[in-house]
Amino acid sequence: MIKCVILDDELLAISYLKLLCEEIDNVEVVKAFNDPKIFLSEINSIDCNLCILDIEMPGMNGLQVAELIS
């Protein structure tokens, strides 16, 4: 099972990404965030092996977030 976390600043995009992930066998969205700072404060305590990150977000983009997580 692939456990996925989503980060996107747009709630509609989060809903759409969840819907798409539900269509893929063995993929489960365990949590979704719309704020990079909250995502970064919680990501280390979440059991996941895939993060879907929005590239263009205000303040901090998805590439910057990716550099900060392991």
Between CA 42 and CA 66, with CA 26 as vertex, the angle to 5 degrees is 35
At residue 59, φ and ψ (nearest 5 deg) are 85, -65
Question: Looking at the predicted structure, is the pLDDT value of residue 16 above 90?
Answer: yes
Residue-level pLDDT at 70: 73
Question: Looking at the predicted structure, is the pLDDT value of residue 11 above 80?
Answer: yes
pLDDT, average across residues 10-30:
97
22-55 pLDDT, tens digit per residue, is: 999 999 999 999 999 999 999 999 999 999 999 9
